[in-house]
Structure 1
């Protein structure tokens, strides 16, 4: 079973951080509710009942910062690090692209070329539309992974707090000097690529995740503490894209999320509540990838028989079944194979986006 594990002491086996699965479950449910409501009711984003469910994406980024730094500290080979990222992300993603292709080609939403280019997962870097709404976040994850690979290659993990602070200062400069570049921009590919690479909107969450891990390991220094303050100040600027999240809500969410992440890593939160949603965290990555596609397929297939909201309701167990099948039938066997053949003796930590 794929697990999130914390480094143990010398001569001890790593300890599972089961709380992170629950946080992933919360993030996955939040994003799914946001999308399901929009598909079922065509509700504008700004007036949705589950409007703030989209903040599950930021929670995913926060968890990624925590887990990726954990993995990086326990990996001595950049090749193993990158191989693990590729094997972790692509199998479930390619299956989701195949399922999405059935929908988008069937209704004529995108052509075969766009579908084919989406199999690379690099489409957002090259002004190619994402054929499924959730795919846009993967570009930010990939950019973060590559940056961490460079840090590993340069043997600079010991400077991670300085690097994190530098990233935040670059994000702040970008945000305040180039406010017109604070979103995807299909008309200006270079602007879009720079927005993904610098990640001025989401850098605070990746950084807060990494520094929460440093605090969990009792290694947080004064530079890291300053970086946490800068990250929270940046979240206080809010999110001004389609989400239109005010700064007070955004910063409050960031503070609460950091507290929940630290509590989960220290097993402070009651286990019963976590176990109830932990399974959703285990299948959260494939669930995140397929839930919109499953809903759209059900709407198309059942549109002449039942209402759109009813079709979306039917898609929920379908989404869960597909996600479970992908995790247990594809992700888990591949992860086990990777661990057997990895040159570095570490257990792969689960990631989600």
Structure 2
């Protein structure tokens, strides 16, 4: 949920591994991906605020009755997560090309942690001062739970997220770990294609193999979005070919298959049946939007304000649920449902901007400088071992 869309630097010459590919030209910034990231975040927000029926205490009534149309949209907009993962595969591959493992580690720490630390602390304060709206998490955050959450590795440690939306960060982290293995040798066209093929095979056999560690790392449910995003980036950087089209098509086929096991969990939230056809339509739209970006369908989009909008995506995602619930349950006592939704959305967008402007922008350069210095010291001192 945290990927950034960066402008292309001049691309490095192709290596021997990728000599069969034409040398790509310098590409313009993909503003449309910034917009799609915000669309995905708002989709997840709509799912939590409008689509989840079992949190009726948030609206003092049933969202499906108070806002029938909004609930219909929100009941399926959780597929914004799938769009996030597609974009992540595309953007991570793009931003890592020609860079080292240390560069990748630094970029992820700088991008993810400052806003996340602030969000954890703000959400903790909110939960300590107000009653949580989640019916299945009734206890106040304990100090050890908060501190463990600050590592962003609380999920594998068996510690509940301070805000349940943080679950996707663990999925992203596992993708980063897998991709970092490839970075040890450096990215080339052949290696990245091979990485996609091997990951797809392992994700396919992980279930029958019944190896929990393998399933945890290769993510049989969500791998298809990351892999497809990577293949779409290769189409963008080089050019489409039958193999890349095949990888994307295979990922879509596996994604629709694994969706059978995903829908049930979201039906628990909506408290009613969800159409498989509508769900797959949303997922297919996500594939087409990122694929269209790769193929140049949206090159006409040159709205620079989308860069600002994209920068709000991550803090908005981190803040919107628990804090948003508390705002909704209070404001909805005084305003009708739809005005309440838009007022709280504006408030949360403002909060996201403040986190970006006051936390991410000033802290990122400082943190990057310190990490770069650390890696330089390690390389220097390690050379004398």
Alignment TM-score, normalising by the size of structure 1: 0.79
Look up the match of 1:22.
Answer: 35
TM-superposed CA distance for 1:136, in Å, is 0.4
Query: Quick one: which of 170, 184, 188 aligns to 2:202?
Result: 170
Query: Quick one: which of 231, 235, 239 aligns to 1:211?
Result: 231
1:194-205 equivalences in 2 (<5 Å): 195-205=215-225
Task: Check whether the contact 1:130–1:136 (CA below 8 A) recurs between aligned residues.
Answer: yes
Look up the match of 1:5.
Answer: 7
TM-superposed CA distance for 1:252, in Å, is 4.0
Moved more, 304-313 or 225-234: 304-313
Cα shift readout 1:204-244 (whole Å, capped 9, x = no counterpart) = 10011000000011255554333223212101212423135
User: Tell me, which stretches of 5 or more residues in structure 1 are unaligned?
Assistant: 179-189, 345-353
Are 2:111 and 1:88 equivalent residues in the alignment?
A: yes
Moved more, 111-120 or 309-318: 309-318
Distance 1:104 1:195 in 2: 33
TM-superposed CA distance for 1:16, in Å, is 1.6
Look up the match of 2:247.
Answer: 227
Distance 1:270 1:67, change over 3 A: closer
TM-superposed CA distance for 1:259, in Å, is 2.7
Distance 2:360 2:291 in 1: 27
Distance 2:218 2:186 in 1: 21
Q: CA RMSD in A?
A: 3.4
Are 2:84 and 1:60 equivalent residues in the alignment?
A: yes
Look up the match of 1:349.
Answer: none
Look up the match of 1:111.
Answer: 141
Distance 2:260 2:302 in 1: 30
Look up the match of 1:182.
Answer: none
Look up the match of 2:174.
Answer: 143
Distance 1:283 1:227, change over 3 A: same
Look up the match of 1:160.
Answer: 192
Look up the match of 2:380.
Answer: none
Task: Check whether the contact 1:19–1:264 (CA below 8 A) recurs between aligned residues.
Answer: yes
Are 2:292 and 1:260 equivalent residues in the alignment?
A: no
SS of corresponding position for 1:124: coil
Look up the match of 1:31.
Answer: 44
Q: Kindly indicate whether structure 1 or structure 2 has the higher relative contact order, using CA contacts under 8 Å at least 6 residues apart.
A: 1
TM-superposed CA distance for 1:93, in Å, is 0.6
Query: Quick one: which of 287, 298, 316 aligns to 2:316?
Result: 287
Distance 1:90 1:56, change over 3 A: same
Task: Check whether the contact 2:163–2:322 (CA below 8 A) recurs between aligned residues.
Answer: yes
Distance 1:151 1:100, change over 3 A: same
The count of corresponding residues between Structure 1 and Structure 2 is 328
SS of corresponding position for 1:4: coil
Distance 1:152 1:117, change over 3 A: same
Question: Who wins on radius of gyration, i.e. which is larger?
Answer: 2
Moved more, 89-98 or 34-43: 34-43
TM-superposed CA distance for 1:111, in Å, is 2.8
Alignment TM-score, normalising by the size of structure 2: 0.73
Task: Check whether the contact 1:291–1:319 (CA below 8 A) recurs between aligned residues.
Answer: yes
User: Tell me, which stretches of 5 or more residues in structure 2 are unaligned?
Assistant: 14-24, 53-57, 132-137, 268-273, 374-385
TM-superposed CA distance for 1:67, in Å, is 0.5
TM-superposed CA distance for 1:267, in Å, is 5.0
TM-superposed CA distance for 1:70, in Å, is 0.8
Distance 1:165 1:316 in 2: 41
Moved more, 17-26 or 56-65: 17-26
SS of corresponding position for 1:16: coil
